[in-house]
Structure 1
Amino acid sequence: MVELFYYRGTKPNFGDDLNELVWPAILSSGVFEIDDLVIVGIGSILSEEWIGKFEGSGKTVVILGAGTSYDLPPKAVSKWLVKAVRGPLTAKVIGMPEAAITDGAILLAAKPGLLPDRSDGGDVVFMPHHRSIRSARWEHIADRAGMRFVSPQQPVDDVLQAFAGAKLVVTEAMHGAIVADTMRIPWVPVMISPAFDEFKWRDWTSSMEVPLRPATISAGHGTDEWVYARMQTILSRHGIVPERTLNEAIAQDALVEYLKKRFDPSLKRALLQCRPSRARRVFAKLLFPARRLAESRAIADLKKVAVGPTFLSDPKVFAAKLQAMKEAVAEVEDLVRNARVDSGKRIASK
């Protein structure tokens, strides 16, 4: 059986879990019968940390819409079949500009039935990143802002059904924006935590020719405000100012240096140390008026973004990217079909 490789955490996560919906529906059964084949699809896993282990494994590794982030790209990437990556930043950092298409989740639009029918509902959906679901009562905050809270840890089908009744998606989770765009629903990117990964967001938005202008949303809880303030201080001290650095004109070596700096182990450790102590969490629970104030700030921020600028890729750009991703899938199908004609051959890597 083919190995469908994507990040599997201890808790569900919408973007990663899309892999189990998309690929069994898009790829033929013949692809899934190949034993020495690895499909790397949706997610920020085109990195040495996650897939470097496949170097020297004897397996054919196919990249279909994955992106780089959280680490440097894998050393063996030039030996693999890179059919599509998430965007121009990933393509540049791996030295394959021709591979820039878009995120693999666009294939939700490639086959009828993968996406639920749109309803006439008028919900404004709010989805934070899973790492921002800390202390704040986001469901309550969203409700007070006139929005429907959707957790990225809900089952994929539940999230898609919620989106189907939405007129707008306000999201800190990148795949919330990608799926909204795929469903042709306007979306607004927001940043709650300073850990917001601008590299992967800008990679995807550039692929769809949409500007990245995230609105800042208050943390919704005093403890989280304290944590995020410390994190921002640490990032600034390390010179992490991505909005001044990341653009399509940036050189490959500068991109590599940015990734080295942004995901340096010492920086990761410093950010992890920002977690509040148990005593601080208990103390914060006792400060009811402070909690109310923190929630009111988040509510006001959400109300503001709901009536501000929204984003949606141009229909012609969307159609072109979807077609290009379909063609990348067809190339994989051709490789498998040709390998199966002569059972004495393996699928040829680069």
Structure 2
Amino acid sequence: MKKIISERDFGRMDARVTYFIRGAAQQNFGDYLPELIFKECLTYPKIDADAFRLVGSVIEDRWIRRDLRRVNGHVGGVIAYWCCGARRESSLSSKTLSHCRFFGVRGPLTRDLLNLPASTVLGDPGLLVPLLHRTSLHPHTKGKMVCMPHTHDRKSDDEMLRISGADVLIHPRVIATEAALRELMDKIASAGFLLTGSLHGAILACAFKRPFAFWDNGHVDIPFKWHDFAASINMPAIFVRNVAEGIEFYDSVAKKISVPTLTEILDVCPFVVRPSLLLRAMAYDEPECEPEVRSCADKLDKLSSFSRDEIFRLQEESADNRRARRNILFNTNANLWLLLRKLKSKLSNN
């Protein structure tokens, strides 16, 4: 029997929400974002999918087949993707595509690769973090030139500081706790500048309106995803060698950067989004109406109909009802089959 709700450090979450190495004691913070997004943002699903992908470069034949085998034991069923990205410039097979439902995509390169309409909503869900986390200045990175390597970069800290020209180094790998993830967010939001080999480092820096640049120190992971995100914010996908080059590059493009509308990203989510988050997104997208909208959002947060306990109680009750109906149908079919066998046997004996 599949569990609908699972217990996590962040609290309960729909067990169908999957991400890379879910359940591991340490996490790449970008992969770990679904925990925060689900806790702060989502209620119950709009679509009865077998799995949900809320973040990441996970749209690829091999990954999709693997996800389906993991959840269903075979390559069958449906995966819902919320503003995720492709891993490389290779289209999906028609068979694999039939198992996918796309609710927005990360960027225009993924959209065009999947032959989705030009009106498809673009934007990585990581851009939502200012709505989900109230930042505090972190003394380790406050106002400093910060470097974040890719999680698989094996250079020593001293070597990375030397070649990057940064003041401090922060790593994308965190202990799998809410506190650790939020602390890393504070470090990114406090940086004077972020040179990053982690794509979600760039995405969060962009979301927190911190200057940033893509870092190429000989380890660029999945180039397609960087180009896809860069195109989504109207920025050229240029990789720099150090902080000095990064600052020069960012200064030349900063005024052209355009972040996707957060309200639209939330609107296409395969889960029902908390109304208070939609209001906060509207305030973020249109700052002139922020005070009134935030006040309404605070009031919505207090409604019992959107309390996490009430939502999960109703979901679990609904899941129990569905299982009961399936059991009744199974037992009825089994009894009919036995009755038919008995009748057939009786007729043959006559």
TM-score interval for Structure 1 and Structure 2 normalised by the shorter chain: 0.5 to 0.7
Taking a change above 3 Å as real, the CA distance of residues 95 and 313 of structure 1, as seen in their structure-2 partners, is farther
Aligned position for 1:182? 207
Q: Which has the larger radius of gyration?
A: 2
Taking a change above 3 Å as real, the CA distance of residues 59 and 193 of structure 1, as seen in their structure-2 partners, is same
- Asked if the contact 1:139/1:148 (under 8 Å) is kept, the reply is no
Offset of residue 131 of structure 1: 2.2
Per the alignment, in what secondary structure is the counterpart of residue 84 of structure 1?
strand
Q: Where in structure 2 are the equivalents of 1:97-246 lying within 5 Å? A: 97=117, 98-111=119-132, 114-117=133-136, 121-135=142-156, 137-138=158-159, 141=162, 145-154=165-174, 155-215=180-240, 217=241
Q: Which has the higher strand share?
A: 2
Aligned position for 1:326? 266
Letter in 1 for 2:45: V
Provide the rounded CA distance (Å) in 1 between the counterparts of 2:165 and 2:204.
22
Per the alignment, in what secondary structure is the counterpart of residue 309 of structure 1?
helix
Provide the rounded CA distance (Å) in 2 between the counterparts of 1:105 and 1:328.
15
Q: Structure 1-normalised TM-score? A: 0.61
- Asked if the contact 2:121/2:268 (under 8 Å) is kept, the reply is no
Q: Where in structure 2 are the equivalents of 1:42-61 lying within 5 Å? A: 42-53=55-66, 54=68, 59-61=77-79
Aligned position for 1:4? 17
Letter in 2 for 1:45: V
Provide the rounded CA distance (Å) in 2 between the counterparts of 1:169 and 1:109.
17
Offset of residue 196 of structure 1: 3.9
Show CA shifts across 1:49-97 (max 9, x none).
2122428766442110211115845433345321111111111111114
Provide the rounded CA distance (Å) in 1 between the counterparts of 2:157 and 2:257.
40
Show CA shifts across 1:237-270 (max 9, x none).
xxxxxxxxxxxxxxxxxxxxxxxxxxxxxxxxxx
- Asked if the contact 1:48/1:74 (under 8 Å) is kept, the reply is yes
- Asked if the contact 1:18/1:105 (under 8 Å) is kept, the reply is yes
Q: Structure 2-normalised TM-score? A: 0.61
Aligned position for 1:309? 249
Per the alignment, in what secondary structure is the counterpart of residue 125 of structure 1?
strand
The runs of 5 or more residues in structure 1 that have no matched partner are 218-301, 345-350
Offset of residue 105 of structure 1: 0.8
Per the alignment, in what secondary structure is the counterpart of residue 238 of structure 2?
coil
Taking a change above 3 Å as real, the CA distance of residues 105 and 132 of structure 1, as seen in their structure-2 partners, is same
Taking a change above 3 Å as real, the CA distance of residues 135 and 109 of structure 1, as seen in their structure-2 partners, is closer
Q: Where in structure 2 are the equivalents of 1:2-81 lying within 5 Å? A: 2=14, 3-8=16-21, 12-28=27-43, 30-31=44-45, 36-53=49-66, 54=68, 59-69=77-87, 72=90, 74-75=92-93, 76-81=96-101
Letter in 2 for 1:188: A
Per the alignment, in what secondary structure is the counterpart of residue 214 of structure 2?
strand
Aligned position for 1:278? none
The runs of 5 or more residues in structure 2 that have no matched partner are 5-13, 175-179, 274-310, 323-350
Taking a change above 3 Å as real, the CA distance of residues 313 and 325 of structure 1, as seen in their structure-2 partners, is farther
Show CA shifts across 1:191-237 (max 9, x none).
1125443211010110111111111x3xxxxxxxxxxxxxxxxxxxx
- Asked if the contact 1:49/1:74 (under 8 Å) is kept, the reply is no
Taking a change above 3 Å as real, the CA distance of residues 74 and 23 of structure 1, as seen in their structure-2 partners, is farther
What value does the CA root-mean-square deviation take over the aligned residues?
3.7
Provide the rounded CA distance (Å) in 2 between the counterparts of 1:304 and 1:107.
29
Aligned position for 1:87? 107
Taking a change above 3 Å as real, the CA distance of residues 197 and 99 of structure 1, as seen in their structure-2 partners, is same
Provide the rounded CA distance (Å) in 1 between the counterparts of 2:216 and 2:267.
34
